[in-house]
Structure formats: structure tokens, C-alpha cells
Amino acid sequence: MALEIRQVQLNVKENNTAHRAHEISVKRLIVRRGQSFQFTLHTNRQFQPDTDTLLFTVETGPRPSEAKGTRCLFGYPKPTDAKVAWTAQVQESDQSSTTMAISSPADASVGSYNLSMRVGSQDAQPRIITSLVLLFNPWCAEDWVHLPEEAERQEYVMSEQGLIYRGSDSYISPMAWELWTV
């Protein structure tokens, strides 16, 4: 019997909390690059890792391209013919559900992505799982925006208030700014 996906549970609240994005949204999946997020596939039978194949595609931008890093094909098991930057791993599986962990590379483009999945083969009809927002990750040592000190991360990333500076090179003045008012 072929594996059928009946429902996808995105665990938005848990993922957004783990990715320090829960203050931004609890309804939309917002994750940080270089850090995995989890979701659960509810299926008609138990996932068989030796015979079942799950193929994922992430895309961002108006004309996604593998060459430009705005489109990536990956899966479980890992495709042997693809340059894979994103990864998928089975975390746990029982009779009717499988929890997957997906990770993006630490240098993936920041932006809004569509995540879709095919069951079985490249020829299968793709099913869009979700749209997600991928943010930079100052907690990830491999991300080029990494900040080693927690105090820096709290001030520069997590704070909703700050100062912006305006003026000319001979007269610069600070101005208070609410960062979430943009």
C-alpha cells in the first residue's frame, strides 16, 4: 500500500519558540537558518525508511533557481544525484505519524519560502506544505551574522526599541525608534 499523507502538523508555536520568533508570530512559521524545525506527517500507515521516499522542495523569490540558491530539492533518504544544502531527517515514527526535522544551511537566503513535498518519486504530484519565513541566526556559529555574546543578541536582535542615527557627517543625532512599527 502506498504511503499517503493525510495531514501535516507544523508545530508553529513550538518551532517559533525554539527559533526565538514567537514574539513575532504564533500563527505563521518563522524559523532561523542553520537550525532545524520539526513537523509531523499524519499518514495512512507507518513510514518505512527502507522503501518510502519523501522529496521536498523549498523555493524563494520570483524565479527560483538551484544555481542561485533560491531553490533546493532534498529528501529522505537523501537524493544521491542532487547537490543538497537543505536536509530532512526522520525524528520518530509510529503507526500513523512521522516527525521530520528540516534544516537549512547557515548561509541560506533570508526571506519567504514555499515548502512542498512529493511522496514516492519526482513524478508524483507536489503538495505544498506551508510558506515559511527564514531569518538570519545570530545564535548559530556558522551564520555570518553570529553574535557570540548573549547580551549583544538581546540588544541588537530581540529588543523592540532602539536608536537610529540621522543627519550628515558633521551633525549626527539619535532618534528613538520602535522597531516593530515598520
Which residues lie below 8 Å from residue 31, measured CB to CB, with a gap of 6+?
15, 16, 19, 21, 37, 104, 132, 133, 134, 135
Q: Tens-of-pLDDT digits for all 182 residues of the chain?
A: 889 999 999 999 999 999 999 988 889 999 999 999 999 999 999 999 899 999 999 999 999 999 898 999 999 887 666 566 899 999 999 999 999 999 999 999 999 999 999 998 778 888 999 999 999 999 999 999 999 998 888 887 887 777 788 998 889 998 887 765 44
24 and 104 part of one domain: yes
Contact criterion met (CB below 8 Å) for 97 and 89: no
Any idea what the CATH number is for the domain that residue 58 is in?
Answer: 2.60.40.10
Query: What pLDDT score was predicted for residue 157?
Result: 80
121 and 60 part of one domain: yes
Question: What does the alpha-carbon distance between residue 180 and residue 77 come to, in Å, rounded to a whole number?
Answer: 41
Tally of domains in the chain: 2
65 and 130 part of one domain: yes
Query: What pLDDT score was predicted for residue 179?
Result: 62
- Backbone angles phi and psi of 176, in degrees to 5: -65, 145
Grid coordinates belonging to 157: 536582535
Query: What pLDDT score was predicted for residue 182?
Result: 40
Strand order in the sheet with 37-43: 5-9, 37-43, 97-103, 87-93
137 and 153 part of one domain: no
90 and 158 part of one domain: no
88 and 169 part of one domain: no
Q: What's the one-letter identity of residue 131? A: S
3-state secondary structure 116-182: EEEECCCCCCCEEEEEEEEECCCCCCCCCCCCCCHHHHHHHHHCCEEEEEEEECCEEEEEEEEHHHC
113 and 129 part of one domain: yes
- Backbone angles phi and psi of 4, in degrees to 5: -125, 135
Range of the structural domain that residue 167 is part of: 148-182
> Which residue's entry shows cell 504530484?
125
Query: What pLDDT score was predicted for residue 23?
Result: 86
137 and 54 part of one domain: yes
For 57, the 3-state DSSP assignment is strand
- DSSP class of 14: H
